[in-house]
């Protein structure tokens, strides 16, 4: 295998996995029709792989909540003011756009998530072709399709959307680094940083990858012989471009008198959230273990390779920097939930691609292990989610029980799935509609108010229906806030129904008749 003028030349028979003719042609060419064919293949694979969850409104509490915020925003509630969260407003803008499609909103956001996943897989394939044969590159994209649900990113989690922007930025960045730039470095660098800036308005953790991109651009300018003064000026422009979407969002909220709400939610609350100690450490161990096939493919496979691999040192170095920055972004916040792994998957899939090209029997097992583990892990996690969270039929049945007792007041859900608020359609008696913001001790100092006082205020307003979990081990419970709810329920409410949703049992309470 050799590389000539930046184009990989692969010996006949280098890959063992034979693709259908159209897909094989698409994976070996760079034309737009070929890219469209490969995108269609990835989209079909993504849809088929996630079919068990299509249309289910209870896939993950986070994406349920994003859809709820968008729905309430469409009816006049303002993010961070009337309905609180710490995610960037760009994520809620995306979900607002999904609501414009005249189909079921759950199906809408899920189809957009499938399209974004397929597009990201296509960009991964293009990046992987710079360091591996086309067959291996094609499999790298497929591994991404399989692996994302394994880390709770089947449809609508934030990384499903911003991974595409970051992968596109790296595609431009690799091209910048591979050849000297006599002109156009400033403009092309602005494209890279604009993509990173848009991604940051979907989730702020991409900041670390954006910093890495900026350093790579500055290094390119230095290698090209720019002066220190000129490099600093270019860096200022690139930083400004990256921060522009966030600054525009801040200015918009300041213009309507809610700049303080925006700042508290977006920039202050994350540093006030308490760590959950041993549970977080266990999650870190589990996620590190789950990534073992990637570590083997990236670190062990090169030692075993007896055949030369098509090398593009420049591309590999950029990809390694991207991977390192993504790992830092995962580690720095200390919570280590499974979906926080997702930003690492694109660079890891690309860097693992050479291992997928091995044809010698003693070396094939690493690539096969990675592909098999990604598929099996994704299926297992989706099955667990369906079992634990329930399905659309159960959600509709529970919604009906709640609607029967909601009259002129509101519905308050102390524990449960945010999708139920949207499905019931009753007023929400608090701006903290994501239940864990009020019912867990880790969030207590981070939401800008005392959760115990907020719950007392809610219950004093006498919602028509209150829903509370009745399982024995609630997640990180705030015992004070739970005691307040239970005291009001004992005094003013009667339990009229119980319901099992997934693996959790809930009690439904209505106001006692006077």
Report pLDDT digits (tens) over 462-475.
999 999 999 888 88
The per-residue pLDDT for 86 is 96
The per-residue pLDDT for 326 is 95
Q: Are strands 411-413 and 7-9 parallel, antiparallel or unpaired?
A: unpaired
Per-residue pLDDT tens over the stretch 109-137: 999 999 999 999 999 999 999 988 888 99
Would you state the structure tokens that stand for residue 455, as one six-digit string?
A: 């719950």
Which residues sit opposite 507 in a β-bridge? Answer: 468, 498
Interval 429-456 mean pLDDT: 96
Give the lowest-confidence range in 30-39, 290-299, 304-313, 496-505: 304-313
How far CA 285 is from CA of 289, 290, 337, 360, 448, in Å, comes to 6, 9, 11, 32, 32
The per-residue pLDDT for 358 is 64
The per-residue pLDDT for 315 is 82
What is the reported pTM? Answer: 0.91
The per-residue pLDDT for 29 is 57
More confident residue, 369 or 19: 369
The per-residue pLDDT for 15 is 42
pLDDT exceeds cutoff 90 at 306: no
Interval 135-153 mean pLDDT: 95
What domains are there in the chain, each with its CATH number?
2-162+279-386 (no CATH), 392-511 (3.40.190)
Interval 484-491 mean pLDDT: 97
The per-residue pLDDT for 179 is 73
Interval 55-83 mean pLDDT: 97
Confidence of residue 508 (pLDDT cuts 50, 70, 90): very high
Interval 475-480 mean pLDDT: 92
Give CA–CA dist 283/293, Å, rounded. Answer: 17
Please compute Rg for the chain using Cα positions. Answer: 25
pLDDT exceeds cutoff 70 at 16: no
Confidence of residue 61 (pLDDT cuts 50, 70, 90): very high
The per-residue pLDDT for 3 is 39
Confidence of residue 11 (pLDDT cuts 50, 70, 90): very low
The per-residue pLDDT for 316 is 85
Helices (H), 50-157: 61-74, 89-98, 105-128, 134-150
The H or E element containing residue 303 is: helix 301-304
How far CA 149 is from CA of 261, 286, 347, in Å, comes to 33, 15, 17
Contacts of 413 (CB under 8 A, 6+ apart): 420, 421, 435, 466, 467
Q: What is the mean pLDDT of the chain?
A: 90
Per-residue pLDDT tens over the stretch 187-232: 999 999 999 999 999 999 999 999 999 999 999 999 988 999 999 9
The per-residue pLDDT for 345 is 97
What percent of the chain shows pLDDT beyond 70?
Answer: 90
User: How far is CA 80 from its chain centroid?
Assistant: 20
Give CA–CA dist 245/251, Å, rounded. Answer: 10
The per-residue pLDDT for 396 is 97
The per-residue pLDDT for 25 is 55
Instruction: Enumerate long-range contacts of 119-123, CB under 8 Å, 24 or more apart.
Output: 119/39, 119/42, 119/164, 120/144, 120/160, 120/163, 120/164, 120/167, 120/346, 121/42, 121/46, 121/145, 122/35, 122/38, 122/39, 122/42, 123/164, 123/167, 123/168, 123/171, 123/346
Per-residue pLDDT tens over the stretch 327-362: 999 999 888 999 999 999 999 999 999 888 765 555
pLDDT exceeds cutoff 80 at 312: no
Confidence of residue 177 (pLDDT cuts 50, 70, 90): confident
Interval 92-120 mean pLDDT: 97
pLDDT exceeds cutoff 60 at 514: no
Confidence of residue 13 (pLDDT cuts 50, 70, 90): very low
The per-residue pLDDT for 6 is 36
pLDDT exceeds cutoff 80 at 9: no
Question: Crossing angle for the helix pair 158-178 and 89-98, nearest 10 degrees?
Answer: 110
More confident residue, 433 or 17: 433
Strands (E) located in 256-341? none
Question: Crossing angle for the helix pair 361-389 and 134-150, nearest 10 degrees?
Answer: 30
Give CA–CA dist 413/398, Å, rounded. Answer: 12
The DSSP output letter for 5 is: T
The per-residue pLDDT for 490 is 97
């Amino acid at each position: 295998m050799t590389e000539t003028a930046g184009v990989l030349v692969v010996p006949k028979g280098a890959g063992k996995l034979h693709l259908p003719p159209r897909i094989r042609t698409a994976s070996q060419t760079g034309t737009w029709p070929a890219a469209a064919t490969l995108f269609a293949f990835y989209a079909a694979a993504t849809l088929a792989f996630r079919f068990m969850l299509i249309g289910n409104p209870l896939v993950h509490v986070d994406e349920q909540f994003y859809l709820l915020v968008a729905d309430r925003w469409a009816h006049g509630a303002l993010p961070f003011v009337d309905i609180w969260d710490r995610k960037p407003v760009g994520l809620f803008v995306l979900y607002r756009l999904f609501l414009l499609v005249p189909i079921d909103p759950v199906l809408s956001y899920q189809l957009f998530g499938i399209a974004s996943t397929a597009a990201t897989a296509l960009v991964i394939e293009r990046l992987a072709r710079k360091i591996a044969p086309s067959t291996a590159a094609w499999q790298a994209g497929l591994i991404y399709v399989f692996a994302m649900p394994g880390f709770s990113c089947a449809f609508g989690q934030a990384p499903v959307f911003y991974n595409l922007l970051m992968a596109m930025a790296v595609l431009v960045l690799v091209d910048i680094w591979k050849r000297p730039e006599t002109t156009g470095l400033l403009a092309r660098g602005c494209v890279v940083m604009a993509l990173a800036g848009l991604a940051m308005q979907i989730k702020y953790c991409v900041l670390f990858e954006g910093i890495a991109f900026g350093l790579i651009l500055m290094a390119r300018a230095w290698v090209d012989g720019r002066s220190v003064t000129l490099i600093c000026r270019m860096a200022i422009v690139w930083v400004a471009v990256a921060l522009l979407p966030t600054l525009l969002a801040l200015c918009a909220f300041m213009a309507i008198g809610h700049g303080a709400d925006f700042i508290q939610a977006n920039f202050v609350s994350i540093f006030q959230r308490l760590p959950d100690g041993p549970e977080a450490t266990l999650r870190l161990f589990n996620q590190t273990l789950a990534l073992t096939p990637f570590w083997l493919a990236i670190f062990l496979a090169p030692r075993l390779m007896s055949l030369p691999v098509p090398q593009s040192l420049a591309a590999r170095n950029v990809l390694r920097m991207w991977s390192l920055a993504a790992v830092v972004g995962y580690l720095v916040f200390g919570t280590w939930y499974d979906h926080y792994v997702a930003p690492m998957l694109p660079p890891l899939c690309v860097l693992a691609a050479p291992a997928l090209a091995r044809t010698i029997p003693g070396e094939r097992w690493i690539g096969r292990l990675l592909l098999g583990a990604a598929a099996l892990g994704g299926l297992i996690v989706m099955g667990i989610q369906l079992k634990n969270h329930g399905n659309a039929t159960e959600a509709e049945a529970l919604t009906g029980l709640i609607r029967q007792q909601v009259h002129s007041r509101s519905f308050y859900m102390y524990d449960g799935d945010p999708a139920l608020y949207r499905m019931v359609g009753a007023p929400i008696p608090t701006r903290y509609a994501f239940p864990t913001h009020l019912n867990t001790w880790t969030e207590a100092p981070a939401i800008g108010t005392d959760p115990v006082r907020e719950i007392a205020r809610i219950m004093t307003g006498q919602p028509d229906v209150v829903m509370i979990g009745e399982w024995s081990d609630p997640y990180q419970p705030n015992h004070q806030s739970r005691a307040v709810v239970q005291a009001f329920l004992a005094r003013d409410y009667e339990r009229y129904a119980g319901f099992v949703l997934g693996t959790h049992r809930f009690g439904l309470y209505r106001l006692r008749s006077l």
